[in-house]
Amino acid sequence: MIAELSTAAALWWAVVVSGLYHGLNPGMGWPLAVSAALMEQKRSALPRALGLLALGHFLAMLAILLPFSLMLFLVEWETNIRIAAGAIVIVMGIYLLINRRHPKILARVHPARLALWSFLAANAHGAGLMLVPLFLGICAIDADTGHKAAEALMRGNVPTAFAVAFVHTAAMTIAGGVIAVIIYLWLGLRFLSKTWFNLDIAWAISLILVGAFGIYSALYGH
Amino acid sequence: MNLRPDPTFHASPKLAMQAPVENYGFTVMLSPDGSQSDGIAVVDLNPKSKTYGEIVHQVIVPTKGDEFHHFGWNACSSSLSPLTGHAFLERRYLIVPGIRSSRIFIIDVKEPLKAKIHKTIEPEEIFEKTGYSRPHTIHCGPEGIYVSTLGGGGKDGTDGPPGIFIMDCETFEVIGRYEMDRGKQDKHYDFWWNLPQDYMVSSEWGLPPQFENGVVPEDLLSNKYGHSIHFWDLRARKNVQTMDFGENYQMALEIRPAHDPTKSYGFCGVVVDTTNLQGAIFTWWRDDDGVWQSKKTITIDPRPEDPANLPPLLQGFGAVPPLVTDIDLSLDDKYLYVACWGLGEMHQYDVTDPMNPVLAGKVELGGIAKSEKHPNGKPFVYGPQMVEVSRDGKRVYWTNSLYSTWDDQFYPDDEGGQMVMANNDENGFHLDKDFYIDFPKGYRSHQIRLEGGDCSTDSFCYPSV
């Protein structure tokens, strides 16, 4: 029982950590919040821009997690679904490792439409997929501990999808927000390029590792 | 791909001004009659170097008759916008089009003294993928490298309007046309933009038959060269407003938007007003209703001259027109430099108030029926033309050739290429006696690019604070 709880806690922490990781990556948008505050010459533009970026990211997470939460209705296929999901995440990681180009469509978005840009950027980089193995793991623990009927399970999984997306996005927004505020208020724009690291390879490897974890836990864990 | 953004990418114009100064310049070498191959001269700009002010390397291309003119970088400070996803590009390649051949050379200048050709894009690829010809201005933008062209399809470039095409900023593959709705735009020259405000402005010279074999006096006097600028919704690729300065304002060329992205104004230089031979600068801006406006804010008068001293083209006028052929705005948006190629003058205007420019300094050099010598006693043929300002605003470089066939019409007795520099310091705006480059025999010079970016390359996504 204790082991199970600690596993659930670990998964939730992983959701938080992945959010912090996405948030610190300038490629997920925090420099746009700094830019908005400077362009509009008012501080309130910064939280507003962060809010729009968060909205886009949250919706991108839901767009990936909700279909999986509905699929879990097929309880007898649960292990297969989790293995397939892990495989998809690994494939996305390998794809990003091989194809190092940036999707041009992101550059076509109007600079003021931050929520749309954030939604597309998260999807293009497989940010939602990174959460799928964690989410499925959490759902599996819920199912094990509850021995619920299929319908109840489905009803339970949808709120879990919302909770995972929310916790992840909140962590992301806090991380990105803190660094945006520090640069805007204290450090100045010079640090914008100094804090920018190329995470492309690390990001792709993260997807592969999370996918592998998903398959492993489907076979040997919950 | 780098692990960190290129150190020459700067978030704001102010940061670019504070960055280390240029050590090298890159200048076009043009063989006006096509008897030699064109090239790019690498110029040593480090005053502490033994070879300061000399051409230290040349990249000469294998083909002839390309006519190098303008060129630009594969990447600039605009890469620091997360919207584009290009933060880890290197500022490493110069994109050098031949405006006569429509061939484009990609030159690797990572090691300036060993600069070499990285890739050649043949004219057929451009014709086939874009229907345009005669590539000209280069800017690195949201979806890749934007290239303006002066000609459409067909042998003389008049089959369809010219426009802008986009190249991939990593592979340099030609992707295709930019425009989705060009509106009234049917001629092309320069373009630039404000990336966060998402607008672009483009200008007009003339169609290829109007310039390739020299200026056509009948077309000029009947006001058939370009006299409009176009405002675009940059990402929607749509011409939202065409502004006609008036048909007498012939050849609306260089577009210089304020570098600070919070500002919604800029300048455009007009070569000649056919009613009085004046040169003119228009200030354009967006009003509170979002409509673009413009006003003529600078005029430069012609100089009366004995027709006997004038080239045949100008004898009927008895005057030397200023011929405003290039303008450049310092990164702090304070000084606008205006090349008066006919008069033989480089003007410096204080444009702190863009609606009321004030002449702050002036250098006289070369000029029609004047041929003012350099302070070192050597000649400066033609007049001050392509001008480039260092990022810190303290050094202003320029060359002398306008365009092969036009040089021969306005200065029939001159031949050669020179590059000079003026300082902008506590003593004002004045020529540097010790900086003078005479180009190798048979070569003329045109646009200059400075290592690490300059005042007509980089677009910024964050305001100066």
Tens digits of pLDDT across chain A (222 residues): 444 545 888 899 999 999 999 999 888 899 999 999 999 999 999 999 999 999 999 999 999 999 988 887 676 788 888 899 999 999 999 999 998 777 778 888 988 899 999 999 999 888 899 999 999 888 887 776 655 565 666 667 889 999 999 999 999 999 999 999 999 999 999 998 888 888 888 899 999 999 999 999 888 875
Q: Do B83 and A39 count as a contact with CB atoms less than 8 A apart? A: no
Q: Do A190 and B80 count as a contact with CB atoms less than 8 A apart? A: no
**Would you state the pLDDT for residue B60?**
98
**d(C-alpha B318, C-alpha B336), whole Å:** 29
Q: Which two tokens stand for residue A10?
A: 């670990």
pTM (2 d.p.): 0.94
Cα B264 to chain centroid, rounded:
21
Residues in A closer than 8 angstroms to B88, CB to CB, are: 198, 200
- Chain B contacts to A (CB-CB under 8 A): 1-5, 9-12, 15, 80-88, 142-144, 170, 195-198, 235-236, 261-262, 461-463, 465
Q: What is the pLDDT of residues B73-96, one digit of tens each?
A: 999 999 998 888 888 899 999 999
Residues in A closer than 8 angstroms to B9, CB to CB, are: 193
* B163 domain-assigned: yes
CATH of the domain at B356: 2.130.10.10
B31 Cβ neighbours under 8 A, 6+ residues apart: B37, B38, B64, B442, B443, B444
Instruction: Tell me the shortest Cα–Cα distance from A104 to chain B, in angstroms.
Output: 6
Quickly list DSSP for chain A: -HHHHHHHHHHHHHHHHHHHHHHH-GGGSHHHHHHHHHHHTSTTHHHHHHHHHHHHHHHHHHHHHHHHHHHTT-GGGHHHHHHHHHHHHHHHHHHHHH--PPPGGGGGS-TT-HHHHHHHHHHHTTTTGGGHHHHHHHHHHHHHHH---HHHHHHHHHHHHHHHHHHHHHHHHHHHHHHHHHIIIII-THHHHHT----HHHHHHHHHHHHHHHHHHHHH--
Q: For A41, which residue in chain B has the nearest alpha carbon? A: B262
Q: Do B82 and A32 count as a contact with CB atoms less than 8 A apart? A: yes
Q: For A192, which residue in chain B has the nearest alpha carbon? A: B11
CB atoms within 10 A of CB B355: 10
* B140 domain-assigned: yes
Instruction: Tell me the shortest Cα–Cα distance from B446 to chain A, in angstroms.
Output: 33
**Would you state the pLDDT for residue A69?**
86
Of the candidates B2, B83, B465, which has its C-beta nearest A107's C-beta? B83
Q: Do B11 and A107 count as a contact with CB atoms less than 8 A apart? A: no
Q: Which two tokens stand for residue A118?
A: 């954030």
Q: Which two tokens stand for residue A152?
A: 């109840």
Q: Of A101, A104, A120, which to mutate for an interface test with B (greatest number of B Cβ within 10 Å)?
A: A104
At residue B255, what are phi and psi to the nearest 5 degrees?
-105, 120
Residues in A closer than 8 angstroms to B12, CB to CB, are: 189
Q: Do A198 and B87 count as a contact with CB atoms less than 8 A apart? A: yes
* B190 domain-assigned: yes
The CA angle B104-B107-B113, to the nearest 5 degrees, is 150
Q: Do A108 and B261 count as a contact with CB atoms less than 8 A apart? A: no
Of the candidates A38, A106, A198, which has its C-beta nearest B83's C-beta? A106
pLDDT beneath 50: ranges in chain B: none
At residue B196, what are phi and psi to the nearest 5 degrees?
-65, -35
Q: What is the pLDDT of residues B106-155, one digit of tens each?
A: 999 999 999 999 999 999 999 999 999 999 999 998 889 999 999 999 99
Residues in B closer than 8 angstroms to A176, CB to CB, are: none
**d(C-alpha A215, C-alpha A221), whole Å:** 9
Q: For A125, which residue in chain B has the nearest alpha carbon? A: B85
* B269 domain-assigned: yes
| Domain count across chain B | 1
Instruction: Tell me the shortest Cα–Cα distance from B234 to chain A, in angstroms.
Output: 9
* B265 domain-assigned: yes
**d(C-alpha B61, C-alpha B57), whole Å:** 13
Strand partners for B238: B181, B233
- In 3D, which of B130, B178, B192, B118 has the Cα closest to residue B157? B130
- In 3D, which of A8, A20, A59, A39 has the Cα closest to residue A173? A20
* B169 domain-assigned: yes
CB atoms within 10 A of CB A40: 15
Of the candidates A110, A117, A197, which has its C-beta nearest B4's C-beta? A197
**Does ipTM come in above 0.90?**
no
Residues in B closer than 8 angstroms to A103, CB to CB, are: 85
Query: Helix/strand/coil (H, E, C) string of chain B?
Result: CCCCCCCCCCCCHHHHHHCCCCCEEEEEEECCCCCCCCEEEEEECCCCCCCCCCEEEEEECCCCCCCECCCEECCCHHHHCCCCCCCCCCCCEEEEEECCCCCEEEEECCCHHHCEEEEEECHHHHHHHHCCEEEEEEEEECCEEEEEEEECECCCCCECCCCEEEECCCCCCEEEECCCECCCCCCCCCEEEECCCCEEEECECCCHHHCCCCCCHHHHHCCCCCCEEEEEECCCCEEEEEEECCCCEEEEEEEEECCCCCCCEEEEEEEEECCCCCEEEEEEEECCCCCEEEEEEEEECCEECCHHHCCHHHHCCCEECCCEEEEEECCCCCEEEEEECCCCEEEEEECCCCCCCEEEEEEECECCCCCECCCCCCCCCCCCCCEEECCCCCEEEEECCCCHHHHHHHCCCCCCCEEEEEEEECCEEEEEEEEEEECCCCCEEEEEEECCCCCCCCCCCCCCC
- Chain A contacts to B (CB-CB under 8 A): 26-29, 31-32, 34-35, 38-39, 41, 100-104, 106-112, 117, 121, 188-190, 192-193, 196-198, 200
Size of interface A-B (CB pairs under 8 A): 94
Residues in A closer than 8 angstroms to B462, CB to CB, are: 31, 34-35, 38, 189, 192
Q: Do B82 and A34 count as a contact with CB atoms less than 8 A apart? A: no
What burial class does residue B63 get, using C-beta atoms within 10 Å of its C-beta: 0-12 exposed, 13-18 middle, 19+ buried? middle
Contact B3, A195 (CB under 8 A): no
Which amino acid is present at B162?
P
Residue B55: give the domain boundaries: 13-450
**Would you state the pLDDT for residue B286?**
98
**Would you state the pLDDT for residue A2?**
42
The CA angle B231-B234-B238, to the nearest 5 degrees, is 65
**d(C-alpha B19, C-alpha B77), whole Å:** 12
**Would you state the pLDDT for residue A75?**
66
* B288 domain-assigned: yes
**d(C-alpha A204, C-alpha B361), whole Å:** 56
The CA angle B439-B444-B448, to the nearest 5 degrees, is 85
Instruction: Tell me the shortest Cα–Cα distance from A135 to chain B, in angstroms.
Output: 28
Residue A45: give the domain boundaries: 2-220
Of the candidates A101, A117, A198, which has its C-beta nearest B3's C-beta? A198
Terminal-to-terminal C-alpha distance of chain A: 12
Q: For A191, which residue in chain B has the nearest alpha carbon? A: B11
The CA angle A64-A70-A74, to the nearest 5 degrees, is 130
| Domain count across chain A | 1
Q: For B141, which residue in chain A has the nearest alpha carbon? A: A107
At residue B380, what are phi and psi to the nearest 5 degrees?
-125, 105
CB atoms within 10 A of CB A18: 21
Q: Do B9 and A107 count as a contact with CB atoms less than 8 A apart? A: no
Q: Of B6, B77, B83, which to mutate for an interface test with A (greatest number of A Cβ within 10 Å)?
A: B83
Instruction: Tell me the shortest Cα–Cα distance from A214 to chain B, in angstroms.
Output: 29
Q: For A189, which residue in chain B has the nearest alpha carbon? A: B11
Q: For B175, which residue in chain A has the nearest alpha carbon? A: A104
Of the candidates A27, A39, A100, which has its C-beta nearest B1's C-beta? A100
Q: For A108, which residue in chain B has the nearest alpha carbon? A: B235
